[in-house]
């Protein structure tokens, strides 16, 4: 059974929110979490424009985090005297990670394809049609017609539990030939935390 998560938009800077959640985790041990700070884990948040506006103090500081639904009561209880507030919280209905890659080295292409052919437990790959193209005439050096004799391309998306998807994103984003988007969220009803 997949752990249900809630996206909480905290009012506060990321360092304070991180400390708040870390302290909570330290007190509650394995019963708490795992939680994920969005901007550290490649999870979509309000984006760069909002970050810029925060930096120039035109809007309040927001920090997005995904927290297991079971831990909301603990979060609410601890908020009291910390100075950190909650702007909004919503149930996470769907998580999706889109990727695209282009590679001209056979060995590396095999490594990349293995990642998507055998995703980690719980992660499913959708809309993925890898395409390998060979053009023997393009082997060797070219000056003005730089075609590759081997090309491997693919694009698609991955779905799965939050923890598995976050870890999968970290793994594939370490290969620079793979262009990975932030994990996008489909949010459901607002959750009251009090």
Binding site for another protein (CB under 8 A): 98, 100, 102-105, 107-108, 135, 137-138, 140-150, 155, 176-177, 179, 181
- Whole-number minimum distance, CB 151 to another protein, in Å? 9
Residue 140, sorted as left (phi over 0), alpha (psi -120 to 50) or beta, turns out to be left
Q: How many CA atoms lie less than 13 Å away from 162 in the CB half-sphere?
A: 26
- Whole-number minimum distance, CB 40 to another protein, in Å? 19
Q: How many Cβ atoms sit within 10 Å of the Cβ of residue 194? A: 8
- Whole-number minimum distance, CB 137 to another protein, in Å? 7
Cβ closest to another protein, residue 105 vs residue 124: 105
Contact residues for 149 (Cβ-Cβ < 8 A; gap 6+): 134, 135, 136, 137, 138, 139, 140
- Whole-number minimum distance, CB 140 to another protein, in Å? 5
Cβ closest to another protein, residue 142 vs residue 190: 142
Which helix H or strand E contains 37, and what residues bound it? strand 36-37
- Whole-number minimum distance, CB 2 to another protein, in Å? 26
CA distance 34 to 66: 9
Cβ closest to another protein, residue 29 vs residue 176: 176
What is the residue-wise DSSP string for 83-95? S-EEEEEEEEEEE
How big is the CA angle at 158 (ends 130 and 52), to the nearest 5 degrees?
A: 110
């Amino acid at each position: 059974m997949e752990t249900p998560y809630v996206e909480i938009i905290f009012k506060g800077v990321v360092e304070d929110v991180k400390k708040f959640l870390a302290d909570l985790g330290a007190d509650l041990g394995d019963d708490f979490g795992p939680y994920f700070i969005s901007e550290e884990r490649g999870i979509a948040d309000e984006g760069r424009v909002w970050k810029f506006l925060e930096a120039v103090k035109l809007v309040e500081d927001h920090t997005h985090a995904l927290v297991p639904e079971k831990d909301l009561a603990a979060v609410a209880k601890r908020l009291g005297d910390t100075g950190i507030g909650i702007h909004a919280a919503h149930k996470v209905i769907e998580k999706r990670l889109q990727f695209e890659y282009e590679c001209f080295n056979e060995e590396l292409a095999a490594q990349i394809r293995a990642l998507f052919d055998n995703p980690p437990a719980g992660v499913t790959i959708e809309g993925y049609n890898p395409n390998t193209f060979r053009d023997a005439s393009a082997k060797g050096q070219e000056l003005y017609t730089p075609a590759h004799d081997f090309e491997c391309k693919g694009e698609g998306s991955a779905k799965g539990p939050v923890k598995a998807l976050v870890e999968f994103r970290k793994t594939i984003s370490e290969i620079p030939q793979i262009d990975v988007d932030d994990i996008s969220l489909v949010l459901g009803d607002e959750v009251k935390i009090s």
